[in-house]
Homo-oligomer: A and B are copies of this chain.
Amino acid sequence: MRISELSRRSGVSTATIKYYLREGLLPPGRPTAATQAEYGESHVQRLRLIRALIGVRGLTVSAAKDVLDAISEVETDTHELLGLVFGVWPVAGAKDEDPDPDNSEVSALLAEMGWKVTEHNPARHVITQTLHTLRSLGMDYDWQSLIPYAQLAGKTAALDLDQLQDPADPIEKAERAVLLTFLLEPALLALRRLAQEAESTVRYGG
């Protein structure tokens, strides 16, 4: 297909497509004339993934290129692929943060749950910070308070992973992982809010 058709199919403007071609995020099409090239389905799919990484996950163009390059390298290893997309392993070019020595509570929680998680997973710091903030506001909260929530999060993650089984193609799997992980986040919090009101109605009357 021509670039105009690629733009229509992917919902990405031709100017942006040309920019991604220049930056090497999108492989070149097959040249058909001095100023024309032919693009295929793999370009449509790749553009959707780029849009997911940049538009949904909020990566910079250069960080998205690092992820795409890494995906091409590890595409036979689903676990490494998902790790890259979830941002678990440090992406080339990203700066290495010092491990926070205060993450010991998270380590205790992970051990209790039997979860194997790399040291680099940035979610560790979020848990640590939340516990600090809750305690600074006078709440009696530690890692053990989070165990019942972690059990439910484990079931949520299993639902997520179930939906990544179908696409055999690594690029499609990566795209689905980005969309499911990031786009569902506000919806999961919204479901909790709806459920809180429903539960409050059941317990305290409407």
Chain A residues in the interface with B (C-beta under 8 A): 11, 48, 51-52, 56, 77-79, 82-83, 86, 88, 110, 113-118, 121, 123-124, 126-127, 129-131, 133-134, 136-139, 146, 148-150, 152-161, 176, 179, 181, 183-206
Contacts and interface: CB of A to CB of B under 8 A. Distances in A.
A194 B117 CA distance: 6
Residue in A131, A181, A184, A205 with the greatest tally of chain B CB atoms within 10 Å: A184
Contacts of A194: 110, 115, 117, 121, 123-124, 127, 150, 153
B188 A153 contact: yes
Given A156-B152, A205-B79, A191 B134 contact: no
B146 A204 contact: no
Q: How many of these chains are in the complex?
A: 2
A123 B191 contact: yes
A61 B79 CA distance: 48
18 contacts: A77-B204, A82-B197, A83-B200, A110-B198, A116-B201, A116-B206, A124-B190, A127-B194, A129-B186, A130-B183, A130-B186, A139-B176, A149-B184, A150-B194, A154-B199, A160-B199, A161-B199, A181-B196
Nearest to A176: B139
